[in-house]
Structure 1
């Protein structure tokens, strides 16, 4: 089976990138209308004002060297390059397993990430607590994207709306308060490597790195940095990383960790200002197999003129309930 050299792979990616950049400059006018490339070039031209990210996927029946997904920026558009060679395709078809992410903290943090550790007495799990810089999470997300959120049960909800306004406003207007306001992120890893120094314990490396809770925070760092050129260097986030020692326990325990995180952040009336008095009205969401009653509050109290405040604050939980009641297979 033929191996493709780095120069071959680079040349193919360069051709695809050139097609994109030329299409942004009306390449379709130079392509015969009968050519299938004309339709794609026309679509790129029509949408050029809306394009923020372009992903180029190289599919080959050869074997390529293992290269992490590359990211460049051309004309304000993020270009992501990834490869599916015959080995990667066969592995996925044979096992159905997602691609495991290995994080080298020394690469992202310039050294081990300082932490403290708490080991479970029954040796079921170990938990590592630390503070991770916002810029590090943004850089991780830039490289791995939503692959970091494969175990996050609410990842699909993030695409239902814009970047969370509260997180974005804190990043832009009160970055020094982010750690105080934010609940932090919860991470699962199959194994970690730690080191000890005069400063304390430090995380060197984590295998099968997955953000179980905090996907919205992570994505917000990336998008706010990208869109608003926000400086993230002085923002830190609480990080709880859990290693589950028995592989057979992973599915159940990760689900439980995620479930209890969702319960912890469930909306409660008590968190509203004491002067707030909601009007006790109810709106009924109904499908042929699901009836779900939601409280509705005046949007003027929340700052939104279109969506009831409770639904805004609790959208993830309520939508998850709706899907669960309607068709659990969708989860």
Structure 2
């Protein structure tokens, strides 16, 4: 394994011991460290702010070139601007969703940040969109909340700083073959001086990946999942609904599985693994393990959980697999290509 990637795996643990910090420092000190690999890695794996947080708080910046430090600081400051705008969006959107009696839950980015990363720094967990979870019957009404606020289905072009609207055909195609509708985008001014424009992006999910679409699986009812939702309030008084601790984990694990195996590709994203690792660590003494096991068996999710827990365990030197799954469950032969890739 390249030493640069080895270092990033350690960084992604976030909760570091003295040996971890020493390992990071020793790699940073190496004369032939390839900073292009490091930069490519932290941006690809969406751990730029985690890397900056770790090296800054452990006084390791002296080993980093100035141009890299400038890139880290710029990304950190831009993330703060994005967070400010997404908070405003969440405040406004959740009020409107409640007024229209649309049961929803926030998932992934903001919710994960609020539950797991806030104790470090709210800016540490990067996300580029707001992920909303609603039942399929409420899709149209939920979409209206954002359309009425100036959002359109499309993609944002960094080059032109404009939103390219997507055709109705592609909107239907995405909905029919996916767990979500085409993302909704709105161009806004990110800065007071009018120099920085950027997109607010909303992803509306109407089912958990594979829920009911894979004939080998029992359907995972979105309605049933939303019945477990709980009202949360962050330190700024932002109130929103979130899935309970069990189905939040189900969603995170399905999300990782989908992104890692979709279209037959072999790829990994460290920040998804970090989410699962921190979630398991945070809730280890807070949930009833028998309830989690019952949910896994009910929806026949042993394979998906095995996949995620295997890579969390080998990456972060944990032992969640033996606690959560039956010891006889093993899919290593099926996923040997992924295992070899990650080595």
State TM-score, norm by structure 1: 0.25
Q: Please state which structure has a larger fraction of its residues in helix.
A: 2
Q: Please state which structure has a larger fraction of its residues in strand.
A: 1
Tell me which structure has the larger Cα radius of gyration: 1
State TM-score, norm by structure 2: 0.24
